[in-house]
């Protein structure tokens, strides 16, 4: 009789609360194996699905591959693609420094949060937008200012926020390359 996988064995145990992350890692080890060389592919999958590799996930992976958690942590820390924080393709940053603050950044912040359905520091579920604060971007006499990736928008009003977001979506769908994170800076006065 074949031995059930650890995931199946756990789920078959009566009264056992199935730990979905552990089961997921069990399935990944079924796919990639439990040798040391499976470590990076497994971590990449976890990062892809959860956008972050938690300490608990690292422990579970170490356990399944019979290596030390410190070794897993070392690998995650070494490879930036594994530990970089998840950001959407379009990162909108609102300047919160004094001139933009006095020019009405709070109303812009409310509008951005409302239109994107996320708070500052969050990313939309579809991974398209992240919303962050920025410090002075050098457009103090033209505030409030926002950065959309590397592009600066000045004199932003709440009414213009939706317009900017819609323009971003259209541009992104048409030319996703424009939203690479290391593009050039262009100012758009609204």
Q: Minimal distance in Å, beta carbon 113 to ligand FES? A: 18
Q: What angle do CA 115, 121, 123 make, to 5 degrees?
A: 60
Closer Cβ to ligand FES, 90 or 100, answer by number: 100
Answer yes or no whether residue 143 interacts with ligand FES by CB under 6 A: yes
Whether the CB-CB separation of 96 and 133 falls below 8 Å is answered with yes
Q: Minimal distance in Å, beta carbon 111 to ligand FES? A: 17
Among 43, 46, 53, 137, interactor with ligand FES by CB under 6 A: 137
Among 42, 58, 65, 139, interactor with ligand FES by CB under 6 A: 139
Closer Cβ to ligand FES, 24 or 132, answer by number: 132
Residues in contact with 145: Cβ distance below 8 Å, sequence separation at least 6, in sequence order: 94, 95, 100, 137, 139, 152, 153, 154, 156
Answer yes or no whether residue 140 interacts with ligand FES by CB under 6 A: yes
Closer Cβ to ligand FES, 97 or 124, answer by number: 97
Residues numbered 5 to 64 that lie near ligand FES (CB under 6 A) are none
H helices within the chain, ranges in order? Answer: 6-12, 20-32, 39-50, 55-65, 69-78, 80-83, 98-102, 105-116, 158-174
Binding string, residues 92-111; x marks residues near ligand FES by CB under 6 A: ---x-xxxx-----------
Q: Which residues pair with 25 in a beta bridge?
A: none
Instruction: Give the C-alpha separation, 143 to 157, whole Å.
Output: 9
Closer Cβ to ligand FES, 47 or 153, answer by number: 153
Closer Cβ to ligand FES, 89 or 105, answer by number: 105
Instruction: Give the C-alpha separation, 139 to 16, whole Å.
Output: 58
Instruction: Give the C-alpha separation, 43 to 95, whole Å.
Output: 35
Whether the CB-CB separation of 137 and 101 falls below 8 Å is answered with no
Whether the CB-CB separation of 63 and 28 falls below 8 Å is answered with no
Q: Minimal distance in Å, beta carbon 80 to ligand FES? A: 29
Q: Minimal distance in Å, beta carbon 101 to ligand FES? A: 7
Contacts with ligand FES by CB under 6 A lie at 95, 97-100, 136-140, 143, 145
């Amino acid at each position: 009789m074949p031995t059930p996988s650890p995931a199946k064995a756990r789920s078959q145990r009566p009264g056992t609360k199935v730990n979905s992350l552990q089961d997921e890692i069990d399935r990944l080890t079924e796919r990639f194996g439990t040798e040391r060389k499976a470590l990076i592919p497994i971590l990449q999958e976890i990062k892809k699905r959860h956008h972050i590799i938690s300490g608990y996930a690292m422990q579970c992976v170490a356990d399944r591959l019979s290596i030390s958690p410190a070794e897993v942590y070392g690998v995650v820390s070494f490879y930036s693609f594994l530990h970089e924080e998840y950001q959407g393709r379009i990162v909108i940053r609102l300047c919160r420094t004094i001139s933009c603050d006095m020019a009405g950044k709070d109303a812009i912040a409310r509008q951005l949060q409302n239109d994107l359905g996320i708070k500052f520091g969050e990313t939309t579920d579809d991974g398209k937008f992240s919303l962050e604060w920025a410090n002075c971007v050098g457009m103090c006499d033209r505030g409030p200012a926002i950065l959309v990736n590397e592009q600066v928008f000045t004199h932003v009003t709440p009414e213009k926020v939706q317009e900017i977001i819609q323009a971003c979506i259209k541009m992104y769908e048409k030319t996703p390359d424009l939203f690479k994170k290391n593009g050039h800076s262009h100012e758009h006065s609204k």
